[in-house]
A and B are shown apart, each in its own frame.
Chain A
Amino acid sequence: MVVPSLKLQDLIEEIRGARTQAQEREVIQKECAHIRASFRDGDPMLRHRQLTKLFYVHMLGYPAHFGQMECLKLIASSRFTDKRVGYLGAMLLLDERHEAHLLITNSIKNDLSQGIQPVQGLALCTLSTMGSAEMCRDLATEVEKLLLQPSPYVRKKAILTAVHMIRKVPELSNVFLPPCAKLLHERHHGKAVGLPILCFSSVDKRIENWMGTPAYRRRVAHTHRHTRSRLSCPWPPPFTSPTLTPGILLGTITLITELCERSPEALRHFRKVVPQLAQILRTLVTTGCSTEHSISGVSDPFLQVQILRLLRILGRNHEESSETMNDLLAQVATNTDTSRNAGNAVLFETVLTIMDIRSAAGLRVLAVNILGRFLHNSDRNIRYVALTSLLRLVQSDHSAVQRHRPTVVECLQETDASLSRRALELSLALVNGSNVRAMMQELQAFLESCPPDLRADCASGILLAAERFAPTKRWHIDTILHVLTTAGTHVRDDAVANLTQLIGGAQELHAYSVRRLYNALAEDISQQPLVQVAAWCIGEYGDLLLEGNFEEIEPLQVDEEEVLALLEKVLQSHMSLPATRGYALTALMKLSTRLRGDNNPIHQVVSMGLSFLPHPAVAHCHCHLHTTLAQPHPPGGVHLRELLGHGAAAAGCGV
């Protein structure tokens, strides 16, 4: 008996009713079989419904590729219902890797040129989501035509589709630059044509600002002299032109930004419109009317942010443009209401723009101070963005950011992992020669209590900074030692080699180093890098350790038995890695050549230690021992060689 196919709502109910993954899979497989069957011989009118079920199971992670051809059929249908589902399917199920994707190019072309507006919208949406390079090349002319046609809905979609096309096929910038320039010019012109003309003698100061430069006002007045009339209400909303909506403007700015980022000619061309852009932004900032696009009292913050971004690109490394923007940026920075998120979004963009262009010095100080103020804000999101922005500025405006170092360091204490990570990155970037001691103290304190996923970054950051800015070698050794004790398991592999090299090169600190390392080892033999370095050090400078002459540390008598016992402990500990044991054994062998006393205890420990080692480690030890013993040595050495032979045999390998 054939179980009838389920409606989507029933399918969902059954899926939700399934108690195990296997049950769910069963339900879905059964239904997919129905869907496949219906694609083959079902009612074409109901095809779109089958496909919507397929979308649902696809979202849950089940294969849905057999629906691809159905999407194509639906797109080719004449019904809007079918196209809606078909295009959605194309966006969800098709992409460049599937050969089928090129087959919709023709349908899209037809829909773009002859479809009704909603259909054109669907086609553009699909093209901008999954359009491959070939598709974009084929359809560029169609999209270009739509950029300047009357419907605002289609235009704004066409503009963003153009952005996608340029990303896929950069050469298309040439195709879209002329219409783009036209769009902005039209917007400017539209303002002149669409507005009721004001009597300038009684104009409000704010309207005056909004209407632009005196030269512009004169031009407008001249054009419309015979149609002047006095306005009784506050100025009209900025965009009264029937063809230009804020949506189109947003898209246009996005397109211009994309063009300018990719082509120097576009950049040069659009630098000329900086005054117009400034004008638009000024209007948005100073308008008190609540426009439909305002959020929390800020007029169209999305558009403001986008314009600020574009101004940043246009003003970068360009004195003239930057100068034009100074006043405007100051105005935005001071007038924006920062009580709500929207205003803060605009303010942050303003700050970043100020810092990125050739702005006046005073303005830069203002910008960094705004960021500093935000670091104290109670809203965590604001603090996060402030830290991120400061991180972007730390290379270019190091001294300005340094002024906020104390606050940044405080942020290390944040409980929020995102914030403390940012604070860590910023703190590490702020370390320099003059503040290194203070900063290291803070960072090392942080290392002791920081969350586990930050530990590795913190440790390596400290080690790097220490390497760059260590005031003295002894401080450097102390720092590394501290890191190894606190977070030994999180340091990079080369930390051990670096430290041994550092110590080896600082002859005056041999005694100091070996003493400190011995003490550290005596307290804790679990941190492997520390143990390895300590073992090496004891091996190299064991004689200095036993001499007991220390200038600055309290003298302590350490005798041979204690040292041996410690190394034995290391060898026997289950926490010690084979490499660590290798270090310990080598140290013991070196000690046997350096120490004056009876070597029998050492021999016993060595033979015990050798039995622990796997073959490669033994071979390594053997090599090393041969090198050591090749030098002139006291009588004990010969016994050791025999011993090594025994040990190797005991470990079951030929030497």
Chain B
Amino acid sequence: MIQAILVFNNHGKPRLVRFYQRFPEEIQQQIVRETFHLVLKRDDNICNFLEGGSLIGGSDYKLIYRHYATLYFVFCVDSSESELGILDLIQVFVETLDKCFENVCELDLIFHMDKCNCWVIDEASRRKKREAQRHQQVHYILQEVVMGGMVLETNMNEIVAQIEAQNRLEKSEGGLSAAPARAVSAVKNINLPEIPRNINIGDLNIKVPNLSQFV
């Protein structure tokens, strides 16, 4: 069983913290700090396995980690998991993140989430908006790989397809605020033909405005 998955940067700042075993909050933070210190001491050319720290469970647990440029991905597992298998699993997770975002290391730069409400979306905000979704996205992606501390799915395409479907669903719910700028401004600038003031109901001759733009 996987007890916890931690991602932090070279300075020990957490970027993703997910526990599959219940720990009180203070202990969770202590575990993150302790794990970081243990992992930081390791050179890059030694093995990827560390006996776990004292907090997270004693002799049956070990830390399996991989270091990618600015980020450490650490899985804390018990003896029922295959050590080499977990190394591959970390790779699957990272490659999936890579597929969903431009560059995994950029995750370290900005973890943002924002459904931008502004009417005018320029290039900078568009970039910010993309980056804005990352923090949550990493959680959602992880949920498709590991669930309840067990391996759920290892096929990258499958995982990415699911995430994209869910994101589309979210977008479609967003209403007007999620519409692209052009559509919005088109609506704002619409030139409705004049509606006649006097509607002669008697002969049911009602002039209806031309709504072809909306079709």
Interface residues of A (CB under 8 A from B): 7-9, 12, 49, 52, 55-56, 59-61, 63, 79-81, 84-85, 88, 92, 95-97, 118, 124-125, 128-130, 153, 156-157, 160-161, 163-164, 246-247, 250-251, 254, 292-293, 295, 300-302, 305, 309, 341-342, 344-345, 348-349, 380-385, 388, 415-419, 421
Cα distance, A124 to B147, chains bound together (Å): 9
Whether B98 is near chain A, meaning CB under 8 Å from some CB there, is no
* With A295-B92, A342-B88 as contacts: A88 and B136 at CB distance below 8 Å: yes
Cα distance, A344 to B82, chains bound together (Å): 11
Whether B10 is near chain A, meaning CB under 8 Å from some CB there, is no
Q: Is the CB of B148 within 8 A of A161?
A: yes
Mark the stretch among B70-78, B109-117, B189-197 that contacts chain A.
Answer: B109-117
Q: Is the CB of B136 within 8 A of A85?
A: yes
Q: Is the CB of A381 within 8 A of B47?
A: yes
Q: How many contacting A-B pairs (Cβ < 8 A)?
A: 166
* Chain B interface size range: 35 or more
What distance in Å separates the Cβ of B161 from its nearest Cβ neighbour in chain A? 10
Q: Is the CB of B148 within 8 A of A164?
A: yes
Whether B166 is near chain A, meaning CB under 8 Å from some CB there, is yes
Contact of B148 (CB < 8 Å), options: A128, A250, A419: A128
Q: Is the CB of A118 within 8 A of B139?
A: no
Chain B residue numbers with a CB within 8 Å of A157 are 147, 152
* With A97-B22, A160-B150 as contacts: A12 and B110 at CB distance below 8 Å: yes
Closest to A49 in B: B115
Chain A residue numbers with a CB within 8 Å of B50 are 418
Q: Is the CB of A388 within 8 A of B83?
A: yes
* With A8-B113, A129-B20 as contacts: A385 and B84 at CB distance below 8 Å: yes
Whether B202 is near chain A, meaning CB under 8 Å from some CB there, is no
Whether B151 is near chain A, meaning CB under 8 Å from some CB there, is yes
Please give 13 more A-B residue pairs, beta carbons under 8 A apart, in addition to A8-B132, A164-B149. A9-B132, A12-B111, A61-B32, A97-B22, A118-B169, A156-B152, A160-B150, A161-B147, A164-B150, A302-B154, A341-B88, A342-B88, A345-B84
Closest to A153 in B: B162
Contact of A247 (CB < 8 Å), options: B24, B148, B152, B165: B152
Q: Is the CB of A345 within 8 A of B85?
A: yes
* With A293-B154, A302-B89 as contacts: A125 and B147 at CB distance below 8 Å: yes
Q: Is the CB of B154 within 8 A of A295?
A: yes
Please list 25 pairs of residues, one from A and one from B, whose beta carbons are closer than 8 Å in the complex, sorted by A's number: A8-B132, A9-B113, A55-B135, A80-B173, A81-B170, A92-B18, A118-B165, A124-B147, A156-B152, A157-B147, A160-B148, A164-B149, A292-B158, A293-B154, A295-B154, A301-B85, A302-B88, A305-B85, A309-B80, A341-B84, A348-B82, A381-B48, A381-B49, A381-B87, A421-B51
